[in-house]
Amino acid sequence: MELAKVTSKGQVTIPIEIRKKLGVKNGDKILFVEEAGRIYMLNSSMDALREAQKEFFGEAERVGLKDDDDIMKMIKELREESWAK
């Protein structure tokens, strides 16, 4: 358990061990989420990545991507289409 003090401006220094666990670096944004009467602090970039992963779940199978070769082929085709315009 870590302890931090709130300044008169509402600022808090996040202890180094907590920053390491969250993967938070200078300039990163922190997300505060309330769930079931508790407040959670998250690295906003990591939360956005998790949300994107949830939204994309199953899409590779839906469009027929089975491995890295399929992905590279799709990227090549998309680039060729883009360059043709």
CA max distance for the chain:
59
Residue 28 has pLDDT above 80, yes or no: yes
- Which residues are paired to 6 by β-bridges? 12
Q: Which residues, at least 6 apart from 39, have a Cβ–Cβ distance to it below 8 Å?
A: 32, 33
- CB count, 10 Å around CB of 45? 14
Q: pLDDT digit string (tens) for 46-63?
A: 777 777 778 888 888 888
Determine, yes or no, domain membership for 7.
no
pTM for the model: 0.53
Determine, yes or no, domain membership for 6.
no
Determine, yes or no, domain membership for 53.
yes
Supply the pLDDT for residue 15: 93
Q: Which domain holds residue 43?
A: 26-84
Determine, yes or no, domain membership for 75.
yes
Determine, yes or no, domain membership for 12.
no
Split into its structural domains, the chain has a count of 1
Determine, yes or no, domain membership for 3.
no
Determine, yes or no, domain membership for 1.
no
